[in-house]
């Protein structure tokens, strides 16, 4: 198994974000989760991106492909909502899902 890439908590990429319309802030939760937010008072919407610093490079040979498989399961539906229902819900509010 490949060792994980270290991502120091003091490194920020906020300079890559456009801060022309609002304040960008960065915070770290007690569990180490890094959160970057941008408040744009003139916009009534929310964008959310979730990146987890683990993946197929961290899998053993025995579990090869499991990360990719789990990624796709996230949008395959539940007991109460089909994959189509989830996609329609995203589309209905102008959203997009991608796994």
**Tens digit of pLDDT at every position of the chain (99 positions):** 445 445 554 555 555 555 566 677 777 788 777 787 877 788 887 777 766 667 778 888 898 888 888 877 877 888 898 989 988 988 888 887 776
Classify residue 36: in a domain, yes or no: yes
Closest CA to 95 of 79, 76, 75: 75
Classify residue 6: in a domain, yes or no: no
Number of separate domains in the chain: 1
| Parent domain of 22 | 14-92
Classify residue 9: in a domain, yes or no: no
Quick one: 67 exposed, middle or buried, by C-beta within 10 A (0-12, 13-18, 19+)? middle
Catalytic residues: 71
């Amino acid at each position: 198994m490949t060792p994980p890439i270290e991502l120091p908590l003091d490194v920020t990429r906020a300079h890559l974000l456009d801060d022309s319309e609002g304040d960008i802030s960065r915070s770290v939760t007690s569990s180490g989760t890094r959160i970057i937010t941008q408040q744009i008072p003139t916009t009534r919407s929310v964008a959310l991106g979730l990146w987890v610093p683990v993946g197929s490079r961290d899998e053993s040979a025995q579990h090869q492909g499991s990360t990719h498989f789990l990624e796709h399961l996230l949008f395959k539906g539940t007991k109460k909502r089909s994959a189509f229902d989830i996609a329609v819900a995203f589309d209905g509010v102008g959203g997009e899902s991608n796994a």
